[in-house]
Amino acid sequence: MNKGRIILHIDLNCFYASVEQIYDSSLKGKPVAIAGNPKERRGIIITCSYEARASGVYTTMNVGEARRKCPELIVLPPNFERYRAASKAFFNLLKEYSEILQPVSIDEGYLQLPIVEGQNVLQQVQNMQDRIWNELQLPCSIGIAPNKFLAKMASDMKKPMGITILRKRDVPTVLWPMNVIEMHGVGKSTAEKLRKLGIRTIGELAVADEYVLKQYFGINGLRMKQKANGEDDRPVDPEAIYDTKSVGNSTTLSHDTTDRDELYKIISTLSEKVADRLKAKKLAGVTVSIMIRSADWETCTRSKSINNAIHSKEDIVEHAWYLFNKHWDEEPVRLLGVTVSNVSDIKETTQQLTLFNFEEHIKDEPIIKLVDQIEQKFGKGTILRGSDIAKPVGEYQANTSFSKDFWDEHK
């Protein structure tokens, strides 16, 4: 084990299903799935028990198909209050072992253990896993490694209730024979691009030409190669939960459609929700993305970057609709999504002046000077823009299972 750091990745197994089995013991040992809306076609499996997985059910499968695979499947709607309570108990227990704790979702996180002379790391981790099971009735898998990437890879190797140690010296024998699709951070699209470059295994990625990787994947190509060699110097950062990188919203349509007017209305509604969340978080972004999923489950994701950071519904709609029209193949649409990414604090964003907007800014100049004069006399923040006044907590919160606000409550 690296003398510098001992990092754990703790992943709760089938979390939502496990919580439901705690509240209703009759569900234990049965195929259970949690779905967004079990009664409608838009119901998508969020997670399922290992008994359900044994029948071919998996996350993202629609409810109808899941029931065909497993007729005895018990499908339940999500109960986020239960999951939040269980997650709080989980992270509170982890904090007893170290304050260097980074949650990455409601059911997983990284923990850096303090190095103590004579400590038995494996015994300590076994004790942690036993407590999570005995006190919380939650099964988990734990990876032990000198960095976050290897810890994550290790925790995926034995499920459920596994503990895996992955040292850097183990990388050539353990990781390199694996297909690149099994590498954390590599999705289907990236794996296909790598395959076209003749890179099929993690070992081939580890020795790939850096110039070629950078040409096809940018800086991410170099990062992939570093991880394939077991290198990752990212810290376990307790504050990372506060770093919002993107704000998005998506919806599965109640019926497949090619009606352009209807699709525009949906994109407009999604853009409004994204704008509301950006406003609540006081963020603006310079990249707009659109996701289009067809009736046959083909997914197209496209994005464009712009000079000036945006946050208003009108601006988001304009760019999202442009992307949709450019990339939609006129096949029936099943799902649409709109995202604004590369976001930053709205106060820190600067607008690039052009021949068309400089007059607008000049008109604001007397007001800006007046505000500066008042703040110099009475103090910074004496005057606030309407958009700077915080909205009531929760009014525009993302409808997600884990957020900054959840962690605020937990600290």
Active site residues: 108
Asked if 376 and 80 count as a contact pair (C-beta separation under 8 A), the reply is: no
- 24 marked among binding-site residues: no
Two tokens, residue 67: 């029931």
DSSP states along 41-77: TT-BEEEE-HHHHTTT--TT-BHHHHHHH-TT-EEE-
- 276 marked among binding-site residues: no
Task: Compute the C-alpha angle 93/97/98, nearest 5°.
Answer: 110
Pairing of β 140-145 and β 6-12 = antiparallel
C-alpha dihedral sign at 311, 337, 189, 34: positive
Q: Distance (Å, rounded) from C-alpha 279 to C-alpha 285?
A: 11
| 3-state class (DSSP) for residue 204 | helix
C-alpha dihedral sign at 303, 305, 310, 314: negative
Q: Distance (Å, rounded) from C-alpha 52 to C-alpha 382?
A: 58
CA 284 to chain centre: 19
Which pairs count as long-range contacts for 87-92, CB under 8 Å and 24+ apart, including other chains?
A: 87/15, 87/402, 87/406, 88/409, 88/410, 89/135, 89/136, 90/12, 90/132, 90/136, 90/138, 91/410, 92/410
Pairing of β 140-145 and β 246-257 = unpaired
Determine the length of the chain.
411
The identity of residue 399, as a single letter, is N
Two tokens, residue 184: 């954390």
**Binding-site residue ranges:** 11, 107
**Binding-site residue ranges for Mg(2+):** 11, 107
